[in-house]
């Protein structure tokens, strides 16, 4: 397979980006909001400064908007106020991860975990870094640590499924993801990874069926569409694959990917050996204000 085609496929499957992806990709971020009734009112002092937690929430919002400079500034300010702040350390790790500096991100996640071994956000960050560095055994072990602390957590289950798939253990990944979907019905990140796992594991028809259930929703993550196009392409339904790809790619890139699908069908092999990390839905770590 030509390297230019491999890069194009990686680009196609990158849109979940962790994600809204996978969003939320995904709405699996695990964040909750609550409303607290205030029983007394106090005047706001003109010179009063926002609390550290308020600044962390603003930093989280900046990070989710990909405003990495502002997020970094606010996380660093919070860390200056409290050098042992696990949310601030995790936030700095998240910003570095967001710009692709995985090695430095891992350092901050590790520092946060040393301060609070039971905090799951930095552990999930550590596992994501391991996946990007293709240290799949380390990622699997770390996700198991998260699940020991939070059984059936959708973030950890989706990440563990991704690590297992990338290591070639599709059967184990599918069993895990199906079980996680029972505990978290309708979770889009879990469904996207299950559909891709089935496709990479040699059953693109079943993979397409799973992905169709996700893509029928208007808010479906783009990654679900791209993985569905891969499933259709491996099935030989090039018209359907081209129609899906055309929503996000120029015509030349669509043709490149159709040729890739044809090449894989002609070889009658699974494309799992060369699959990119971006082909799976990696969970975002929870932000500092997440409960």
pLDDT mean values, one per 10 residues, the chain (291 residues): 38 34 32 34 42 84 90 93 95 95 97 97 96 96 97 95 93 97 94 93 94 87 87 93 89 90 75 56 54 39
The pLDDT score that the predictor gives to residue 77 is 93
Predicted pLDDT at 66: 87
CA 204 vs. chain centroid, Å, equals 22
- Among 233, 239, 225, 250, residue whose Cα is nearest residue 13: 225
DSSP assignment, residue 136? Answer: H
| Residues 109, 36: Cα–Cα separation, whole Å | 31
Task: Go through the domains of the chain in sequence order and give each one's CATH number.
Answer: 52-150 (1.25.40.10)
Q: For residues 132 and 162, is the Cβ–Cβ distance under 8 A?
A: no
Give the C-alpha separation, 164 to 174, whole Å.
9
What is the per-residue pLDDT for 264? 84
**pLDDT confidence of residue 276:** 60
- Quote the pLDDT of residue 247: 86
Cα of first residue to Cα of last residue in the chain, in angstroms, is 45
Interatomic CA distance for residues 233 and 245, integer angstroms: 10
Q: Quick one: pLDDT at residue 75?
A: 93
């Amino acid at each position: 397979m030509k390297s230019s085609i491999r890069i194009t496929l990686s680009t196609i499957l990158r849109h979940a980006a962790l994600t809204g992806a996978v969003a939320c990709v995904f709405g699996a971020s695990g964040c909750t909001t609550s409303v607290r009734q205030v029983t007394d009112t106090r005047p706001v002092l003109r010179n009063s400064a926002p609390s550290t937690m308020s600044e962390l929430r603003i930093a989280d919002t900046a990070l989710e908007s990909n405003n990495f400079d502002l997020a970094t500034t606010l996380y660093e300010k919070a860390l200056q106020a409290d050098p042992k702040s696990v949310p601030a350390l995790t936030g700095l790790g998240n910003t570095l991860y967001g710009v692709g500096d995985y090695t430095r991100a891992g350092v901050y996640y590790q520092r946060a975990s040393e301060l609070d071994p039971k905090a799951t956000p930095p552990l999930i960050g550590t596992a994501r870094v391991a996946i990007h560095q293709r240290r799949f055994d380390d990622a699997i072990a770390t996700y198991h640590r998260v699940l020991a602390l939070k059984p059936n957590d959708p973030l950890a289950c989706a990440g563990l499924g991704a690590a297992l798939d990338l290591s070639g253990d599709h059967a184990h990944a599918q069993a895990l993801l199906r079980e996680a979907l029972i505990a978290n019905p309708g979770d889009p990140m879990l469904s996207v990874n299950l559909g891709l796992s089935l496709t990479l594991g040699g059953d693109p028809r079943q993979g397409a069926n799973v992905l169709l259930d996700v893509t029928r929703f208007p808010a479906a993550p783009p990654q679900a569409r791209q993985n569905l196009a891969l499933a259709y392409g491996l099935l030989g339904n090039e018209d359907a694959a081209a129609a899906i790809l055309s929503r996000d790619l120029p015509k030349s890139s669509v043709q490149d990917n159709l040729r890739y699908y044809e090449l894989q069908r002609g070889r009658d092999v699974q494309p799992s050996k060369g699959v990119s990390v971006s082909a799976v839905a990696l969970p975002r770590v929870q932000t500092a204000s997440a409960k």
